[in-house]
Structures are given as structure tokens and as C-alpha cells.
């Protein structure tokens, strides 16, 4: 009888041990799958293909939603540089936002449309700049350069959406150049 009791306890101990080990394995698999999905979503909205950079951004807490906000603020600031947003700038901002995964009808799209109708508070640009400075401090020079090129390229495309006459002349206004310069500074501080 004592042998039966010990065998039952031994079996219960083994089952408990392996159940805990199986749960740890399942949890590890869930975490890997969540990381993969997050990486794919961030890659889709950012255009970044390098998994090392994507993993670093995710480690820093930058997911697809954060990336979207990060990339849209410069578009809005450039569009409002001269005090108003015309139809070409509006289309350029919305195209840039759609390239970042903001789809029509989504909450992010609605906020963006509101910002295109009414200029956001100046604190938005200040907060964006502070965030970029902090983020760049965590990136190596190549990563910082790639981030700057991506964000500034889209901002520049909004600036170039209007300006010039029949495609001739200066395509970026002096006001837009000032805003682009301010945006660029955040990447070099």
C-alpha cells in the first residue's frame, strides 16, 4: 500500500512538472507568434524590411500605431507651414498616411482629417521632436539615418505637392523649408 501511495505521488509529481514545462513552452510559442505578428505589422506600415531594425524598434516600444503617429506629424506640420492646407497638400498627406497603414474610416484617419481641417496645437510638434530625440539616442547612426530618410522623405513629398508653376520654379516654399529644417534638427540632437 505504501508502494502504491508513493507511485501515485511520483506520477502526480511528474505530471505536474511536465504540465508546467508544457505551459512554459506554449507561452514561449505564443510570445514568439505575437512578436512575429508585431514585426510584420511594423514592417508593413514603416516600409522597413531589416528584421534587426524592426526588432530594435519593437524593443523600444515602437509598434505600428506609434510608427504611424511618428510619421504623420511631420506631414501635418509641413502642410500647415504657410498657414493653410490646400487640396494638393491634403491629398499628399492622406497618401503618406495610407502608405503608413492609416485606412479611411479608421480612428487614426479621422484624427488626421481633423488636423487637416484645424491646425493642431503647437505642442504636437514639440512632443514629436522630444520623442524623436529620445528615440535617436537609442539608435545607432545607420538606424538613425534610415529613420530620418523615411520620415523626412514623406514630409518633403508633402512640401513638394504644391509650389512652382507648371512644374517650374521653386517647389518648396520658404515656410515649408523652415518647418523641414525644424523637423530635421530633431534627428541630429
Give, as one character, the DSSP assignment of residue 120.
P
The pLDDT of residue 170 = 62
Residue 163: predicted pLDDT: 61
Q: Which pLDDT score is estimated for 179? A: 92
* Angstrom distances, CA of residue 93 to CA of 80, 113, 143, 174, 175: 11, 10, 24, 19, 17
List per-block mean pLDDT (blocks of 10 residues) for the chain, which spans 189 residues: 74 75 77 85 75 80 76 89 90 82 79 89 84 86 88 87 56 89 91
Cα dihedral value 124, 127, 133, 139, nearest 10 = -90
Which pLDDT value is given to residue 164? 44
Query: According to the model, what pLDDT value does residue 126 have?
Result: 86
The verdict on pTM exceeding 0.85 is no
Helix (H, G, I), strand (E, B) or coil at 165: strand
Question: Within a 10 A sphere around the Cβ of 50, how many other Cβ atoms?
Answer: 12
Amino acid at each position: 500500500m505504501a508502494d502504491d501511495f508513493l507511485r501515485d505521488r511520483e506520477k502526480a509529481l511528474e505530471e505536474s512538472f511536465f504540465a508546467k514545462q508544457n505551459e512554459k513552452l506554449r507561452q514561449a510559442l505564443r510570445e514568439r507568434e505575437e512578436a512575429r505578428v508585431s514585426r510584420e505589422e511594423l514592417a508593413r506600415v514603416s516600409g522597413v524590411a531589416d528584421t534587426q531594425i524592426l526588432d530594435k524598434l519593437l524593443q523600444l516600444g515602437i509598434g505600428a500605431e506609434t510608427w504611424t503617429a511618428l510619421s504623420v506629424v511631420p506631414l501635418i506640420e509641413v502642410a500647415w507651414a504657410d498657414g493653410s492646407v490646400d487640396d494638393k497638400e491634403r491629398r499628399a498627406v492622406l497618401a503618406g498616411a495610407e502608405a503608413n497603414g492609416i485606412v479611411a474610416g479608421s480612428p487614426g484617419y479621422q484624427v488626421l482629417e481633423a488636423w487637416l481641417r484645424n491646425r493642431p496645437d503647437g505642442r504636437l510638434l514639440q512632443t514629436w521632436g522630444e520623442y524623436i530625440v529620445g528615440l535617436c539616442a537609442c539608435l545607432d547612426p545607420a538606424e538613425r539615418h534610415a529613420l530620418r530618410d523615411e520620415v523626412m522623405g514623406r514630409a518633403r513629398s508633402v512640401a513638394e505637392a504644391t509650389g512652382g508653376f507648371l512644374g517650374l520654379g521653386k517647389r518648396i516654399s520658404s515656410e515649408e523649408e523652415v518647418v523641414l529644417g525644424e523637423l530635421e534638427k530633431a534627428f541630429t540632437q
